[in-house]
């Protein structure tokens, strides 16, 4: 079994701790029987927990890490402990070729900084980007990037995000020619900043890219399922993603409040429970878990800190698909192709 | 009756046309019995429609405008027809002191450009801003600005938006010291762009302002009711507002789909109807209607194009409160106060 089917897991990150992480990895192990795992963290604690997961135990190695990156640690603090923390050691396994991908549910800023410093950006990539899956009304989720790796971006960055996001959508959503749009404050050609208009012109001038360019998209259409990849700078992307999360919770809270407002509506709630559970299921972040850092020499997946075992399983599935499709090579090919024709 | 209690209404703007506009103005007339109206548009059509609203008729004058700004007109086209369109003539009444405020449900870009060109920014204001009310879990709506008047902003612009937004919240939400926050991608001091950090430092250095500075707020807290005014550049604001609108609709669509998924859930839906109607009511844009342009020498209110009569009534109520509180003077005082102490 080569390193290509081995995933390093930061077993200590995440709000649920080791028990939730390993329960999630055990689920992933059942779903991907060829996969092997490097479990990084407190060796004794991991071995103890593995007793309850004999199937996972059979497909895992344990790698001791004496420290854990704290959830409130600054990236600069975390970087100094790259060699002793479970997060840092998990990433180092990817760098050394001993794992094909790393998965962590720990501190996002720390993970981003450590991954960037250790793995470096791919040749030709100016900036890595953080991409995630958002629920939509369409048949599949929608990929959105950048979600916060780069506060400010130029046109060249956005074009590269489009190429990387499309490659990721082909892998994660099994689409041949993903529809890609740039997030903007209007759909007409003259809307937005020079940066966004320049990026649109560059993508439009490259019809050989394996994507369908759909122009600009506004915030109110993000969840309609009309495009597969939404590209933006990390500031706008973070604002949009968090606003969407917050609004979904807000509407759910209002609904709860409304259902509690009378006996009648409480009865209605009980009867409609299967329906509202369908809704909850569709919006549950665990079902869309697994953000990826694109553009690095190695695959790193970030799980929500609050993910449950199903969420962890899904984050590992994201990593498994990227490994299966050799996403790094695909991105390098697409970019090479884009630069060659553009030159 | 002086001009201070007279509101000019672009009777022709809006998707619902004249009938909806006048039905809304008639509702506002009943709510603000001291208010007078200048109804601007096709004179014959307005007089015909007024027959069904005798109470409104008694408190109105009609001003003929031969043209209407089309909903898809570019701002540059609209500006050239400022003297002949109902929107342009309504704004001109404010400029000439014949009305204390103008209200239109027409094309936003056209209204913004015409208002800026005709009324000009207040002394000391570098950029006007578009502010609107967003529903929240709190006791009142939340003011958010800028929502698209300025694609790019510097720190000075954001500080002025904070001062203007606080003045507006005191008027629209009847708050003494509104809590003001800057939209950002994290709450720690070092997060975001230099522009946002500089703006925060300037506001923090002016504790004499009639507002409570709450630092940074992230997209997922916008609707929590924890702050009263959210300040951002027009690009981020437009993305956040539209993402919130789109997500609320998305969740409502999922809920509808879920309720239709079985006989049982259809029955549950019928029983819970009063509850889901409460939710719909809380999210209905008509109940939060009326965006305002702040920082101009004159008050201009933008209604949603698709507003119904209740929505129009609420947009006029926004104008009426600003007139009552002499919002322009308040903003000028606060800004003068801020600049004086800062100097």
Q: Are residues B106 and B197 in the same domain?
A: no
**How many domains is chain B partitioned into structurally?**
2
> Is B191 found in the same domain as B90?
no
Residues in chain A closer than 8 A to B247 (CB atoms): 222-223, 243-244, 247-248, 251
Query: What is the C-alpha to C-alpha distance for residues B268 and A247, in angstroms, rounded to an integer?
Result: 24
B290 shares a domain with B300: no
CA distance B272 to chain A (A): 5
| Dihedral over alpha carbons A94, A98, A102, A104 (to 10 degrees) | -110
Residue window 229-288, chain A: list those with CB within 8 Å of chain B: 234-236, 238-255, 257-259, 261-262, 264-265, 267-276, 278-279, 282-283
Query: Cis omega before residue B69 (within 30°)?
Result: no
Is A198 a domain residue?
yes
Query: Are residues B114 and B149 in contact, defined by beta-carbon separation less than 8 angstroms?
Result: no
* CATH code, B277: 3.40.718.10
- Nearest C-alpha in A relative to B72: A188
Residues of B in Cβ contact (< 8 Å) with A276: 255, 258
Q: Are residues B204 and B275 in the same domain?
A: yes
Strand-strand pairing, B229-231 and A142-145: unpaired
Q: List the structure tokens of A198.
A: 């320049």
For the stretch B130-163, pLDDT in tens is: 999 998 888 899 999 999 889 899 999 999 999 9
Per-residue model confidence (pLDDT) at position A261? 79
| pLDDT at B286 (0 to 100) | 85
Chain A neighbors of B265, CB-CB under 8 A? 271-272, 274-275
List, in order, residues 6 or more apart from B42 with CB less than 8 Å away.
B11, B12, B18, B64, B65, B66, B86
Q: Is residue B169 domain-shared with residue B290, that is, in the same domain?
A: yes
Do the Cβ atoms of B10 and B86 come closer than 8 Å?
A: yes
Based on the fold, state whether residues A154 and A119 are members of the same structural domain: no
Whole-angstrom distance between the N-terminal and C-terminal Cα of chain B? 41
Q: Which of B221, B246, B264 sits opposite A220 (nearest CB)?
A: B246
Cα–Cα distance, A330 to A220 (Å, whole number): 31
Contact call for B274 and A262, based on CB within 8 A? yes
State ipTM.
0.88
- Provide the edge-to-edge strand list for the sheet that holds A36-41: A60-64, A36-41, A6-10, A101-104, A299-302, A291-294, A129-134, A142-145, A229-231, A179-183, A212-217
Q: Is B152 on the interface with A (CB under 8 A)?
A: yes
> What DSSP character marks residue A126?
S
Q: Chain B residues with CB inside 8 Å of A221's CB?
A: 246
> Cβ of B274 and A261 within 8 Å?
yes
- Give me the residue from A241, A244, A275 closest to B268, CB to CB: A275
| B242 to A249: CB separation less than 8 angstroms, yes or no | no
Handedness of CA A51, A52, A56, A60 (dihedral sign): negative
Asked whether residue A146 is assigned to any structural domain, the reply reads yes
| Tokens 């002499």, located at residue | B326
- Predicted pLDDT at A341: 65
CB B24 within 8 A of CB B309: yes
Contact B243 A245 (CB under 8 A): no
Distances (CA, A) of A316 to A37, A297, A320, B335: 10, 18, 6, 54
DSSP β-ladder status, A212-217 and A179-183 = parallel
In angstroms, the separation between the Cα of residue B266 and the nearest Cα of chain A is 8
Decide if B222 and A246 are in contact by the 8 Å CB cutoff: yes
Closest CA of chain B from A119, distance in Å: 24
Radius of gyration for the alpha carbons in chain B, expressed in angstroms and rounded = 21
Alpha helices by DSSP H, chain B: 17-31, 43-50, 54-58, 75-80, 86-95, 108-119, 155-172, 194-204, 234-259, 263-283, 309-324, 327-342
CA distance B28 to B47: 18
pLDDT in tens, chain A (343 residues): 344 489 999 999 889 999 999 999 999 999 999 999 999 999 999 999 999 999 999 999 999 999 999 988 888 888 899 999 999 999 999 999 999 999 999 998 899 999 999 999 998 899 999 999 998 888 889 999 999 889 899 999 999 999 999 999 998 888 999 999 999 998 888 889 999 999 999 999 988 888 999 999 999 999 999 999 999 999 999 999 999 999 988 888 888 888 787 887 788 777 777 777 777 787 788 888 889 999 999 999 999 999 999 999 999 999 998 998 888 888 888 888 777 666 5
Is the pLDDT at B3 greater than 50? The verdict is no
Flag whether B258 is in a domain. Answer: yes
Of B43, B86, B101, B171, nearest in space to B319 by CA:
B101
Say yes or no: B80 and B184 in one domain. Answer: no
Nearest CA-CA partner of A7 in A51, A52, A54, A61:
A61
> The dihedral of CA B121, B124, B125, B126: what is its sign?
positive
What would the pLDDT profile of B19-33 be if each residue is shown by its tens digit? 999 999 999 999 999
B156 and B105 assigned to the same domain: no
Show the domain range for A264.
126-294
CA dist A89 → A69, A129, A305, A340, B40 (Å):
11, 22, 19, 37, 71
* Residue B193 near chain A (CB below 8 Å): yes
Give chain A positions within 8 Å (CB) of B151: 185, 192-193
My answer on whether A197 and A317 are in the same domain is no
Alpha helices by DSSP H, listed for A36-139, are 43-50, 54-58, 75-80, 86-95, 108-119
């Amino acid at each position: 079994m080569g390193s290509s089917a081995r995933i390093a897991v930061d077993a200590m990150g995440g709000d649920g701790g080791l028990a939730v992480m390993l329960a999630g990895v055990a689920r992933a192990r059942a779903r991907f029987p060829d996969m092997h795992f490097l479990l990084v963290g407190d060796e004794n604690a991991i071995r103890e927990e593995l007793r309850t997961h004999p199937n996972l135990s059979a497909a895992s190695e344990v790698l001791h890490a004496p420290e854990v990156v704290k959830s409130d640690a600054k990236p600069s603090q975390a970087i100094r402990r790259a060699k002793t923390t479970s997060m840092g050691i998990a990433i180092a396994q990817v760098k050394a070729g001993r794992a094909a991908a790393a998965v962590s549910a720990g501190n996002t800023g720390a993970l981003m900084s450590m991954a960037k410093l250790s793995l470096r950006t791919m040749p030709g990539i100016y900036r890595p980007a953080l991409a995630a899956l958002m629920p939509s009304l369409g048949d599949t989720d929608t990929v959105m990037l950048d979600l916060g790796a780069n506060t400010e971006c130029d046109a060249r960055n956005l074009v590269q995000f489009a190429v990387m996001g499309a490659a990721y959508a082909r892998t994660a959503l099994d689409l041949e020619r993903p529809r890609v749009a740039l997030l903007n404050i209007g759909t007409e050609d003259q809307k937005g900043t020079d940066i966004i208009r320049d990026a649109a012109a560059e993508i439009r001038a490259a019809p050989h890219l394996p994507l369908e360019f759909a122009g600009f998209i506004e915030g109110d259409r993000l969840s309609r399922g009309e495009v597969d990849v939404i590209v933006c700078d990390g500031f706008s992307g973070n604002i949009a993603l968090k606003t969407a999360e917050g609004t979904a919770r807000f509407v759910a809270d209002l609904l709860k409040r409304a259902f509690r407002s009378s006996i009648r509506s409480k009865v209605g709630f009980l009867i409609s429970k299967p329906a509202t559970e369908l809704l909850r299921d569709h919006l549950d972040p665990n079902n869309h878990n697994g953000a990826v850092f694109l553009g690095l020499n190695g695959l790193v997946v970030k799980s929500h800190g609050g993910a449950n075992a199903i969420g962890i399983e899904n984050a590992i599935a994201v990593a498994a698909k990227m490994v299966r499709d050799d996403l790094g090579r695909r991105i390098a090919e697409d970019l090479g192709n884009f630069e060659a024709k553009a030159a």
